Amino acid sequence: MDKDILLIFDLADRPGRIGILENERPIIWHPLADGLANRKIVQAVHAFLGERKMTLNQMNAFASVTKGSSFTGMRIGASVANAFAWVFGRPAVGVHSSSARLIQAAYKRATPNATIEITYPSDVIPKANPG
């Protein structure tokens, strides 16, 4: 892969959004309908990527914002990022902000099999995937 492309889940606040970060470009955000993150996040991801003519396999990592008002949203974002990361053998990156600069920095520090673990109150604990 010649460029870094990250899929970002920002579900910690309602209604939530997903985004794509390519190299140093600004994040392209796709807002989600209220409540959609709880029920149809995977379908929303496929539709968003389809509009951009991209696939999940092109992603170098999956990031999730882990700071906000919705603990359930944080858990959903982290769970989806972890699942995609596991399936595609990429790192999952937890970040406290949706800033492109901070997400890129967290990605560059991530280990290849990194996963996201959410604890209450919303502390990110990077953890190596044992598999």
**What pLDDT digit, counting tens, does each position of 33-67 carry?**
876 655 688 889 999 999 999 999 999 999 999 88
Say which residue the tokens 């968003």 belong to. 48
pLDDT, residue 21, reads 96
Distance, CA of 89 to CA of 79 (rounded, Å): 15
pTM equals 0.84
Say which residue the tokens 């920095």 belong to. 105
pLDDT, residue 131, reads 53
Contact between 17 and 30 under an 8 Å Cβ cutoff? The reply is: yes
DSSP 56: G
Q: Which residues of the chain have pLDDT under 70?
A: 1-2, 35-39, 119-131
Residue partners of 80: CB distance under 8 A and separation at least 6 = 9, 41, 42, 45, 62, 64
